[in-house]
Structure 1
């Protein structure tokens, strides 16, 4: 059985894995932020979520390993962005756009320079 959305199809098993990954509130919120904001540094997410750096890095690793985010090193800082090339990016983007804006968390952004 397949779910059809926006001209692409996703197998039920793939959808279940993706939805399980997105079932975590922190990861879901991170992705929502990344479609509003071009990219964020680990230290910004630490501030936004008031969480430890290892906890944030673990969430980002899971998103990166799944292909949902890309990472880009700038000096000593690692920046993350939503991976528009992800196989089901349209599907994920459609889901994320239905969630409330996370603009209040973006107000907690800091400079990593």
Structure 2
């Protein structure tokens, strides 16, 4: 839950907590896969598994896959629709949601 918390803080406050690599050391990697099914996603799934039934998690995964497919398929249209300011607002809004998830997981796991 700490990883999710720090990622959410980066999104909401615009901070850089995790060190970025210098451009000369960056390798070419597919961007979509690590963001959609990376370490944060796996950490969230493992944390949710302790609290919810498998069927509920599977329904959430399927709905999320459909949403991600729609967004990736229509990225250019969405960028034009929202503009730079709208995208920043969405980033902060989803950061707040992610922050709430991280805090809830932390409270549940520590018993506070």
What range describes the TM-score normalised by the shorter chain of this pair?
0.3 to 0.5
The alignment's TM-score, normalised by the length of structure 2, stands at 0.35
Q: Comparing both structures, which one devotes a greater share of its residues to strand?
A: 1
Higher relative contact order (CA 8 A, sep 6+): 2
Larger radius of gyration: 2
The alignment's TM-score, normalised by the length of structure 1, stands at 0.34
Q: Comparing both structures, which one devotes a greater share of its residues to helix?
A: 2
